[in-house]
Amino acid sequence: MNFIFALFFLLPASADENVKPGYNNLSHKGAPDIKNFVKPIKLATNFEKKFIKTSGSEPATYQELVDEAVFNCPNVKNIIKVDEKLLWKLVAIEKKYDPPASLRGMLLAAACMESGYNPVARGDRKFSKKREAKAVGILQFWPWAEKYIDRENPLESADFWMKRIKRQLKKSVKKNCSFKSEKRKWLAAWVTAVRSPKKGGRCYEKVKHYGLLKRWHRSIKKLRKKIKDSDHYGCGC
């Protein structure tokens, strides 16, 4: 028995023993560099921890942005009820329209601000004499949109929302705004698409959604820096 017990300590250590606690060994050759990892992504469904290999200077990833969307949406009262699968479907729709990397998550930010990701949300009753909801759905479209979409269908609404922004790039923004930066063009198209037409365009205006999106991007950068500067293993707290 003592012989078997001694043999146990002579066995070679597994590769996983070299991995820093709380991190996945993506290199398969010992511990990954903690400076190239961001914090675990918390999932609203099962709080499983995931890690993304990235550098601090790279644009925010969609996985980081979904994390922000789940945990840092001011219009969500209970994060457990956030439908993360729906958020990823919104991401897939946004990717199809290929916004600049600095504006990744724009659709998530808009859905958060407008409805807290609620596909059947009702709003803008103050514009109705009978106090009936004018705005319906995840992006709060008014009745005019019923000609094109089912407002309670979040995917139809999201695709229509992105399509309208993309269309403004080629129409109003191209005609009225002399920007060279793709980001500036997209910001102008964004505000033009969600507000009523205006003579001369809305080149220098910005939507409230963008303020939230900027906070998410700043939060991600701060978190990466915190992990990079940390001398501790695990979460970098």
pLDDT tens-digit readout, 8-65? 344 444 343 333 333 333 333 333 443 444 444 444 343 334 445 555 678 999 999 9
Q: Mean of the pLDDT values across residues 100-106?
A: 98
pLDDT at 234 over 90: no
Q: What pLDDT was estimated at residue 33?
A: 42
List of residues 6+ apart from 188 with CB closer than 8 A:
168, 172, 173, 177, 179, 201, 202, 203, 204, 205
How far is it, in rounded angstroms, from Cα 121 to Cα 211? 22
Cα 151 to Cα 147: distance, rounded to the nearest angstrom: 10
Question: Is residue 176 in some structural domain?
Answer: yes
The mean predicted confidence, pLDDT, of the chain is: 80
In a domain, 23, yes or no: no
Domains of the chain: total: 1
- pLDDT, residue 86, reads 98
Is the Cβ–Cβ distance between 41 and 52 less than 8 Å? yes
Residue with tokens 């909801």: 133
Q: What is the pLDDT of residues 156-173, one digit of tens each?
A: 999 999 999 999 999 999
pLDDT value of position 28 = 31
For residue 16, being part of any structural domain is answered with no
pLDDT of res. 127: 64
Give 211 or 25, the one with higher predicted confidence. 211
Q: Which residues pair with 141 in a beta bridge?
A: 136
Structural domain includes residue 151: yes
Q: What is the DSSP letter of 20?
A: P
Closest to 121 (Cα-Cα) out of 157, 165, 94: 157
Based on C-alpha coordinates, what's the Rg of the chain?
Answer: 23
Q: Per-residue pLDDT averaged across 64-91, rounded?
A: 97
Confidence label for 114 from pLDDT (cuts 50, 70 and 90): very high
Least confident window among 27-31, 78-82, 205-209:
27-31
CATH number of the domain within which 199 lies = 1.10.530
The more confidently predicted of residues 133 and 115 is 115
What's the pLDDT at 27? 30
Largest Cα separation within the chain, whole Å, is 89
Q: Which amino acid is at 169?
A: L
The answer to the question of residue 18 being in a domain is: no
Question: Can you tell me the mean pLDDT for 224-229?
Answer: 87
Q: Is residue 82 situated within a structural domain?
A: yes
Cα–Cα distances (Å) from 230 to 35, 58, 59, 187, in that order, read: 8, 19, 21, 35
Q: Is residue 220 one of the residues assigned to a domain?
A: yes
Q: Positive or negative CA dihedral for 153, 69, 96, 195?
A: positive
Helix H or strand E segment including 201: none
Residue 128 confidence class, pLDDT cut points 50, 70, 90 = low
Distance CA 37, CA 32 (A): 8
Residue 170, in any domain of the structure: yes
Helix axes 182-194, 208-229, angle to 10 degrees: 140
Domain span including residue 121: 33-229
What's the token pair of residue 64? 């980081």
Q: Which two tokens stand for residue 204?
A: 């220098």
Residue 171's CB is within 10 A of a number of other CB atoms, namely: 13
CA 152 to chain centre: 21
For residue 148, what is the enclosing H or E element? none
